[in-house]
Amino acid sequence: MAVRENIKTLTRPAAAPAATPAATKGPSDQVLEDLRRRIVSHDLPPGTRLREQDLAGEFGVSRARIRDAFGILEERGLIERIPNRGAIVTRLQVEHINELFEVREVLEAQMVRLATEKAPPETWDELIEVFGSAMDGTLERHDLDSYAEAIELFRQRCLEAADNEVLSNILDGLYDRIHALIRRLILVPGRAAEGRRQHQDILKAMRAGKAEKAERLKRENIRNAMAWFRDYQKYLL
């Protein structure tokens, strides 16, 4: 099965009952989620000025609701509000990116360790298949979108298995701030192939129930990604 088809099968949600009015997102939630998505995907690139009046008109909400969304986005480090200039999409500096990598190394390694300890070994069989021989053709075709989707699937499955809400919330916030950079890093020649091999080793350790080894390999994976960033940072920023 092709990697992308495999991923779609693994991420297909089960049928859910219709949402009740209490479960339906309100306008403020929708504004926040849409702005977050645009910033993370670089539809609103770093340095973009966000104007309350324009966004209020676009979303059909009050400026107070836009300000509420800005407050949460600022807490997450996605925007900064500057006196007399308004809200600006945050532009990451090299020093800040290095710090984010350092924190990711610790937290993602802990995520992998907890996931290995808490989930039965067969949990990882499907991911082993995703990163297996089917990905050979994916990388040969330079289908890096499918590879990025496989990495995201790995992250989602590990967070689910780790079953730690605090860790999940922290990592989601970190990932929002560095998501676009991660996707750019995948484009560097050779990085996807090396990352694929590293994830194969991590999953092998997880399947064998070797939590400490999986944790160590994930640390090495993040350190390796940081080294690639440092080598190619002038092309990535």
The pLDDT of residue 3: 62
Residues 66 and 112 in one domain: no
The pLDDT of residue 158: 98
The pLDDT of residue 155: 97
* pTM given for the model: 0.78
Residues 136 and 185 in one domain: yes
Residues 190 and 137 in one domain: yes
Which one of 39, 69, 89 terminates a domain? 89
Residues 30 and 145 in one domain: no
The pLDDT of residue 10: 62
Whether residue 6 is contained in a domain is answered as no
DSSP 143: -
The pLDDT of residue 135: 92
Asked if 112 contacts 206 with a C-beta cutoff of 8 angstroms, the reply is yes
Which one of 34, 62, 89 terminates a domain? 89
Residues 85 and 100 in one domain: no
For the segment 6-55, what is each residue's pLDDT rounded down to a tens digit? 665 665 544 333 443 434 455 568 899 999 989 888 899 888 999 999 99
Whether residue 225 is contained in a domain is answered as yes
Residues 85 and 97 in one domain: no
Place of tokens 């990025």: 148
Residues contacting residue 151 through CB under 8 Å, at least 6 positions apart? 182, 186, 195, 199
Residues contacting residue 46 through CB under 8 Å, at least 6 positions apart? 89, 90, 91, 92
Which one of 58, 89, 120 terminates a domain? 89
CATH number for the domain spanning 102: value is 1.20.120.530
CATH number for the domain spanning 83: value is 1.10.10.10
Please give the residue range of the domain that contains residue 111: 93-236
Beta pairing, strands 86-89 & 79-82? antiparallel
Number of other CB atoms surrounding residue 84 within 10 Å: 4
Rounded distance between C-alpha atoms, residue 208 and residue 211, angstroms: 9
Residues 74 and 110 in one domain: no
The number of folded domains in the chain is: 2
How high is the mean pLDDT in each 10-residue block of the chain (237 residues)? Answer: 60 43 57 91 89 94 94 89 87 90 97 98 97 90 92 97 97 90 91 97 98 98 96 86
